[in-house]
Amino acid sequence: MRVGIAGLGKMGRVFSEKLLAAGHDITVWNRSPGPAKEVGEKGAKVVGRPADLVSNCEIVITMVTDAKALADVFGGPEGLAARDMGGTLIVEMSTVAPQTHVELAAMTEAAGGRFIECPVSGSVAVAREGRLLGFAGGAAGDVERARPLLNDLCRRVDHVGPIGSGAALKLAINLPLNVYWHALGEALSLCVQHGVDPARVTEIFSDTSGGTNVMRVRHGAVAAALKGEKVVGTFDIDSVRKDLRAMLAAGKARGVEMPVTAQALAGYDEASKAGFGALDPAVETAYWAHGRKG
């Protein structure tokens, strides 16, 4: 299959490498040329504009940071929707508010293309193993058209409804996790000051109702952060802040108050302002556990 990929961040690069390995004809575009050059050296074609992906590909995957980046990829004289898309299917996989996908779908269809969303749940490490979960929204026929490709990237792909439903589900799944890292910091502040070994207390949490599924694999990272180590992961505090803002925007659009989410965002904002924005969310936990000292 002739596949385009717009956006070669950590996840986009994994997608390109996995799809190349699966035998697809891959064409890539990225705002900065370095990542595109590296993927090109592995066998992908490289183009200079997003619009060029439409000319070369049957399906184009977009995976970028936020709604602003998506507006740049789709709009303007060099964007995906700048020319007749001739039935090209866009598979938008970024984590953004549902309304963003609704607007991009309308733009795509006005340019003669088709559009589905399929944000994914899972880390970069999970993506490398092909174990992502995909939440597809859009017309059933379009989802089925993309399914063979998505199956190369995900262990499970669910068609959850129309455009917007996939984005909503992804945000809903991420919300309690993002709140949890902050709440865990407040919880640990009750005991770490008593000299409990960080590795021991986080392992205990992972085996109790005070833990979550993620603690079974991440308690070591939390322990390291509690010990003052610099924990750099594939997702960071500033990325969590971006997602929390999207969650609040989605709630506002539906007239839903989300006070816990808003307070969690304030906590992450404070940790970022203190200089921890580029670090793993486990550092958010340590920042609050140690009385805002990181």
Q: What is the pLDDT of residues 99-149, one digit of tens each?
A: 999 999 999 999 999 999 999 999 898 999 999 999 999 999 999 999 999
Q: What is the pLDDT of residue 130?
A: 93
Instruction: Report the alpha-carbon angle 7-29-121, nearest 5.
Output: 25
pTM of the model as a whole: 0.93
Q: Span 240-257, mean pLDDT?
A: 95
Domain ranges for the chain, please list them.
2-162, 168-289
pLDDT at 193: 82
Cα atoms found within 13 Å of the Cα of residue 43, Cβ hemisphere only: 12
pLDDT band at residue 196 using 50, 70 and 90 as cut-offs: confident
Structure tokens at 65: 């940071």
Q: Which CATH architecture has domain 168-289?
A: Orthogonal Bundle (1.10)
294 pLDDT higher than 80: no
Tell me what pLDDT residue 277 has: 97
Return the pLDDT at 190: 94
Sign of CA dihedral 112, 170, 29, 48: positive
DSSP state of 191: T
Question: What was the pLDDT predicted at 195?
Answer: 87
Token pair listed for 207:
């085996």
Classify domain 2-162 at the CATH superfamily level. Answer: NAD(P)-binding Rossmann-like Domain (3.40.50.720)
- Tell me how far apart the alpha carbons of residues 48 and 62 are, in angstroms, rounded to a whole number: 15
State the CB neighbour count (10 A cutoff) for residue 44: 24
Tell whether the torsion through CA atoms of 127, 133, 134 and 140 is positive or negative. positive
pLDDT tens, position by position, 56-69 = 899 999 999 999 99
